[in-house]
Structure 1
Amino acid sequence: MASTVTDSRRPGYGQLLRTPGAWTFLLPGFFARQPFAMLTIGIVLLVQHTTDSYGTAGAVAAVTGVSMAVFAPQSGKLADRFGQRAVLLPGVLVHTASVSALTALALADAPLWALFVAAVPTGASVPQVGPMVRARWAAKLEGSPLMSTAAAFESVTDEFTFVVGPVLATALCTGIHPAAGLIAEATLTLIGGLLFAAQRRTQPAVREPSADGAGPRVSALSIPGVRVLVVAFLGIGSVFGGMQVSLTAFTEEIGNPGANGLLYGIFAAGNMLAGIACGAIAWKRGPRRPLVLGYVGLTLAASFLWAVDSVALLAVLGLLVGLCIAPALISGYTLVESLVPSTARTEAFTWLTGAVALGQAAAVTAAGQLADAHGASAGFTVPLVGTALALVTLLALRSRLAPKAGSTEAVGRIAARGASGKDHRARVTVD
């Protein structure tokens, strides 16, 4: 579909993918980020099998998520300072060993405290490939209108992994062995992570702020807008975590555990489809409004999940929930470009990814406890509460998401877009 527009035409996916050198990091990055979508569901399925408790499985997965949320920003900060390769190489090795240890302990019916001990390095060492890919785009597209298209493309890629990853992990765990999902996750992390780390030419240059007049290096979290986005992304994590556990519990209750992967795949497919649309459409307004509207729709859609008792209706609602996630994710990641200096961007992206992991961890724990005590329908209240709290925060603090007028990087980007005739105003085209 195309429409008549002004001369400032929205650059589309085709133009983005013709960026020189893009494919050299996109392909290995795609395989390296698959494990992120497999880890939580793989832990839940294995530990639930060995302990017969969703609460215990959720608690172990939650420790992994909290550990990732705590250590991911530190990984991003180190990558900004020393380079992505220097962080990835030891990270993938530690993660592979930690997942192997956690799997062996679970199969050996080890005590819960031992599973918790293994879960800490498992989460702490999760390779932050998604934020690193985004940082590579930001370095290549500095000041370009293609940056928002890249944010949409990355959201689509993330959600495609959430279509493939949970379905693959569930199929392996239910069709081959309960540990097969985590074994595949560790294998993909090792191979994909090493291949991505080998792409040195496209990794962002390590720059000291004083070299370009940007002032002393600051933490991305010191920026008020980033803190607001972190809280907002906790809500998205609550959806991922709550849906994973509650869908698993629901399909077990109805005696059709194989439907779990299908239902979660439909939920993630909705997110992916919305991401494709968001990247193709050139909106007239900036990213703050889609961020808020995405959360309004997400809260409304999540408010009906607890009352559904059929696979068909749950599939439809799951699709609607997924459709509302992408605008929020894309808008949040797009805002980082205007809020955060280039020397702290990988750290900022990892704060958001860590917030999703932390929200997911809390949701997995809460939904697991509720599902054990009151059934799957109670678990579905977790996404509603998480998104509602995030929406209230956004509405109250949305003014902090505007870049400071004196920001030299923001001014430079605005000037570059204006000079190229590609300002975001009055654009309604689909590429």
Structure 2
Amino acid sequence: MSDTVDTTAGAPEGTTPARRPGYGQLLRTPGAWTFLLPGFAARQPFAMLTIGIVLLVEHTSGSYGSAGIVAAVTGVSMALFAPQNGKLADRFGQRAVLVPGVLLHAVSVTALIVLALAGAPLWALFVAAVPTGASIPQVGPMVRARWAAVLGGSEERARLLPTAAAFESVTDEFTFVIGPVLATALCTGVHPAAGLVAEGALTLAGGLLFAAQRRTQPKVAQRRGTAASGPAGSGRVRVSALSVPGVRVLAVVFLGIGSVFGGMQVSLTAFADEIGNPGVNGLLYGVFAAGNMLAGIACGAIAWKAGPRRRLISGYVGLTLAASGLWAVHSVPLLGGLGLLVGLFIAPALISGYTLIEALVPAGARTEAFTWLTGAVALGQAGAVSVAGQLADAHGASAGFVVPLVGTALALATLLVLRSRLTPKASGLVAARGMGHRVPVAVD
């Protein structure tokens, strides 16, 4: 089965697909706003946490190095535990995971704040950082799973899935535009701990309100006697999303995207310091994020003729080429323009990857699959922050920009070699061969 069908648009490649529904129609979906608004509040803290930790720990310890390590511990912890949270949500329901999760997160963040303000040793901050990261509510993947559940009831609604994927990408990027700004303003204008206090409060309030929306929660797959549904794993007992080869490939691809986020954050900061204008850092990262937002909006409005796998490969090739020039740029206008270009290629890659999950993974494991991708981004970002920071300290900002290049190049190589694993398996029909014997027959 070749990548000739866009599973999200339902039109073969090379033909003119029907006009894709727009954002207005998507947002008129019954029940959508009941989970979108609290979901936005609950996912906003994810963008505030890292910068809030850095600003607080740097204030109390006087060391950006220590602050970065504590933030990295939080990111790695989130990356390791996010898929397990997603698996539990698929198994027991989102509410059952969210309520204890947000309560634990509020307690952990409070402990981290108290320890930092008390001048506790670094190891104590690590101890608090682990549950803080592990308990970050995976609201973004849960919202995506709710879209899939709400829109999966009919063919007409299913045409909105690509638009929903684009809308979620724009929402994610919007949080990364305003979240760090809000946290920084609170930490510098109110109190060094104010950013983390707001993060914990928003997580608690938004998470509990989101969990209360039971009507749009995806149905929980039965644990026994039920075959997994969907294009991947039909007729099989539900298994982990990571057992799907395509999910493992996409996780590697999203590691590369995380390396772009982490490498850009550190290297742009180092570049701004090198030129003696620290304030330009926010402008440059804002341009980069704006490119991502604009591309996400466009992706949701275009009725693509190419399938999601082909779009993923094309977008990733463009992302790698754009990232390859970052290390050689030494002026603000050129770096801003190239950063905009990098951002423009990230959204198509992210959206195509999330769209492929709909075709590769059974409905009962999609939240877990989404969290594997989210965790991969967080893990790639944590690693990139550490490596880029060391390179920038030793060799300057230009060396830090090598991290996005290497990360995307390695991920692209993996994608090209293993791209066949991103093709959904053909649906099977059951042909009877005697009483009680059924043999699956592949349909071309």
Do these two structures clear the TM 0.5 threshold for a shared fold by scoring above it?
A: yes
Q: 1:126 and 2:147 equivalent?
A: no
- Does structure 2 retain, via aligned residues, the 8 Å contact 1:41–1:244? no
**Which structure shows the higher helix fraction?**
1
Q: Among residues 368, 390, 412, which one is paired with 1:369 in the alignment?
A: 390
**CA distance 1:7–1:274, change in 2 (3 Å):** closer
How far off its partner does 1:236 sit?
0.8
Q: 1:300 and 2:321 equivalent?
A: yes
1:283 paired residue number:
304
- Does structure 2 retain, via aligned residues, the 8 Å contact 1:54–1:371? no
**CA distance 1:280–1:161, change in 2 (3 Å):** same
**CA distance 1:24–1:137, change in 2 (3 Å):** same
**Cα deviation digits, residues 281-305 of structure 1 (max 9, x gap):** 0110111111112211211222222
Q: Which letter does structure 2 place at the counterpart of 1:375?
A: G
**CA distance 1:372–1:177, change in 2 (3 Å):** farther
Q: 1:61 and 2:75 equivalent?
A: no
**Cα deviation digits, residues 238-273 of structure 1 (max 9, x gap):** 111112222233333444333333322221111011
Q: Distance in 1 between matches of 2:396 and 2:347?
A: 29
Q: Among residues 213, 238, 243, which one is paired with 1:217 in the alignment?
A: 238
Q: Among residues 188, 192, 197, which one is paired with 2:211 in the alignment?
A: 197
Q: Among residues 22, 29, 45, which one is paired with 1:35 in the alignment?
A: 45
Q: Distance in 2 between matches of 1:109 and 1:382?
A: 33
Q: How does 1:165-244 map to 2 (within 5 A)?
A: 165-208=179-222, 213-214=227-228, 215-244=236-265
SS at match of 2:418: helix
Indicate the larger mover: 216-225 or 30-39: 30-39
2:437 paired residue number:
none
2:29 paired residue number:
19
SS at match of 1:216: coil
Q: Which letter does structure 2 place at the counterpart of 1:134?
A: R
- Does structure 1 retain, via aligned residues, the 8 Å contact 2:227–2:238? no
Q: 1:318 and 2:351 equivalent?
A: no
Runs of 4+ deviating beyond 6 Å: none
Q: Distance in 1 between matches of 2:263 and 2:187?
A: 20
Q: Which letter does structure 2 place at the counterpart of 1:78?
A: L
How far off its partner does 1:53 sit?
4.1
SS at match of 2:258: helix
Q: Which letter does structure 1 place at the counterpart of 2:80?
A: V
Q: Which letter does structure 2 place at the counterpart of 1:189?
A: T
Q: Among residues 290, 293, 297, which one is paired with 1:269 in the alignment?
A: 290
**Structure 2 residue runs without a partner (length 5+):** 1-14, 229-235, 430-444
How far off its partner does 1:306 sit?
2.3
**Structure 1 residue runs without a partner (length 5+):** 409-431
- Does structure 2 retain, via aligned residues, the 8 Å contact 1:60–1:116? yes
**CA distance 1:104–1:369, change in 2 (3 Å):** farther
Q: Among residues 104, 116, 132, which one is paired with 1:106 in the alignment?
A: 116
- Does structure 2 retain, via aligned residues, the 8 Å contact 1:73–1:350? yes
Q: 1:309 and 2:323 equivalent?
A: no
- Root-mean-square deviation over aligned CA pairs: 2.0
Q: Distance in 1 between matches of 2:390 and 2:61?
A: 14
Number of residue-to-residue matches in the alignment: 404
Indicate the larger mover: 262-271 or 175-184: 175-184
Greater CA radius of gyration, 1 or 2?
2
**CA distance 1:380–1:177, change in 2 (3 Å):** farther
Q: Which letter does structure 2 place at the counterpart of 1:113?
A: W
Q: Among residues 378, 392, 397, which one is paired with 2:413 in the alignment?
A: 392
Q: 1:405 and 2:426 equivalent?
A: yes
**CA distance 1:239–1:156, change in 2 (3 Å):** same
1:70 paired residue number:
80
2:380 paired residue number:
359
Q: 1:80 and 2:90 equivalent?
A: yes
Q: Which letter does structure 2 place at the counterpart of 1:94?
A: L
2:400 paired residue number:
379
TM-score, normalized by length of structure 2?
0.86
Q: Distance in 2 between matches of 1:390 and 1:204?
A: 32
Q: Distance in 1 between matches of 2:35 and 2:225?
A: 27
- Does structure 1 retain, via aligned residues, the 8 Å contact 2:102–2:137? yes
Q: Distance in 2 between matches of 1:191 and 1:247?
A: 33
**Cα deviation digits, residues 305-357 of structure 1 (max 9, x gap):** 22333333332222111111000000000000000000101000011011111
**CA distance 1:316–1:30, change in 2 (3 Å):** same
**CA distance 1:44–1:385, change in 2 (3 Å):** farther
